[in-house]
Amino acid sequence: MRRVADRLNNAHRPTFSVEFFPPRDEADEAVLWRAIRELEPLDPAYMSITYGAGGSSRDGTIRNIARVATDTTLVPMAHLTAVNHSVAELRNVIGHFAAVGVHNILALRGDPPGDPMGEWVPHPQGLHYAEELVRLIRELGDFCVGVSAFPYGHPRSADLDTDTHYLVRKLRAGADFAIAQLFFEAKDFLRLRDRVAAAGCDALMLPGIMPLTTPRTLRKTIELSGATPPAWLVDRLAPLEDDPKAFRAEGLDVVTELCSRLLAEGVPELHFYTFNRSKATRELVERLGLRSPAPPLALT
């Protein structure tokens, strides 16, 4: 099964996926591929590489996701944004993905280059919304399509009801699942899942998880979530910022507790942001029992 939705719908137990970002140079590419090879034996449901707005980053995504499709046993999912692309260019990239065996695409409108909160200016011959990109991908082949979701609402949404309305529109345009941006507590994701269900949409909702191994990863979680961290989290981690070993241990305990609660609530898959490293993700997969058991040895 090479489609994300098929793998998730046919899984007999909760699973996980991993996300990487495109390398900036040859040294970065070596780091990326070391992490990919270290995680490959754990058989994640899929892996993805983000899609930068710039040319070199974009090319790195396309080149490396194609290599995953041809040179590994992993199920690849390509990110694709409408930033600085005409529809003709988008068609070309989508066609390339299909040609190299990539059958899964995460469709994103994308943020303005250089300033995520800057004014969105569409390409003159491009698209305005992720919903349109979902439809375009669906028109061009038998792809499994994902979209993004925001537990606290997209920064540009007026309120959660409006945000839910547009998320459901993306899903009904042809998306199979949504990956939620970062959040701090299980209830934040579960409320998002409930809002989508209450709108009459039964698409898969998947939580995005950042292993909290350093103060930097905590700051990144705060930035990407767009929300203020709860006091209990700050109380647990802030006193340890000058002790890397203690911070990492406590941070992974926090994330393990979060993931355990999500799994207890029936979440079928956890999507880990890796920072192009594998160690923390491997530890969490082991703690949570997400690694598929090895098949029994054949008797001779």
Question: Residue 297: is its pLDDT beyond 50?
Answer: no
Instruction: Give the span between the Cα atoms of 151 and 227, in whole angstroms.
Output: 10
> DSSP code of 53?
S
| 268-296 pLDDT tens trace | 999 999 999 999 999 999 999 996 544 44
Q: Quickly tell me which residue has 């590489």 as its tokens.
A: 49
Which residues are annotated as catalytic? 19
Question: Residue 59: is its pLDDT beyond 90?
Answer: no
- Of residues 57 and 91, more confidently modeled: 91
| Strand partners for 141 | none
Residue type, 284: L
Phi, psi at 54, each rounded to 5°: -85, 165
| 77-91 pLDDT tens trace | 999 999 888 999 999
Q: Please say whether the beta carbons of 66 and 37 come within 8 A.
A: no
Categorize the per-residue pLDDT at 67 as very low, low, confident or very high, splitting at 50, 70 and 90.
very high
| Strand partners for 180 | 149, 207
Q: How would you label 64-97 residue by residue, b for 16+ Cβ within 10 Å and e otherwise?
A: bbbbbbeeeebbbbbbbbbbbbeeeebeebbeeb
Q: Please say whether the beta carbons of 276 and 32 come within 8 A.
A: yes
Q: Is the dihedral of CA 90, 92, 98, 100 positive or negative?
A: negative
Helix axes 160-172, 130-140, angle to 10 degrees: 10
Q: Among the residues of the chain, which ranges form H helices? A: 4-9, 26-39, 55-71, 87-99, 130-140, 160-172, 186-198, 215-225, 231-237, 244-264, 279-288
Nearest to 257 by CA among 249, 222, 152: 249
| 181-218 pLDDT tens trace | 999 999 999 999 999 999 999 999 999 999 999 999 99
| 231-271 pLDDT tens trace | 999 999 999 999 999 999 999 999 999 999 999 999 999 99
Largest CA distance in the chain: 66
Q: Quickly tell me which residue has 């034996």 as its tokens.
A: 41
Q: Among the residues of 40-185, which ranges form H helices? A: 55-71, 87-99, 130-140, 160-172
| Strand partners for 15 | 269
Helix axes 160-172, 186-198, angle to 10 degrees: 60
At 292 the pLDDT is 53
Residue type, 191: R
Kindly state the tokens that stand for 106.
């995460």
At 267 the pLDDT is 96
Q: How distant, in Å, are the alpha carbons of 2, 83, 210 from that of 74?
A: 9, 27, 21
Helix (H), strand (E) at residue 177: strand 177-180
Q: Is 256 exposed, middle or buried (0-12, 13-18, 19+ CB in 10 A)?
A: middle
Write the CB contacts of 89 (distance below 8 Å, at least 6 apart in sequence).
none
How many C-beta neighbours within 10 Å does residue 106 have? Answer: 28
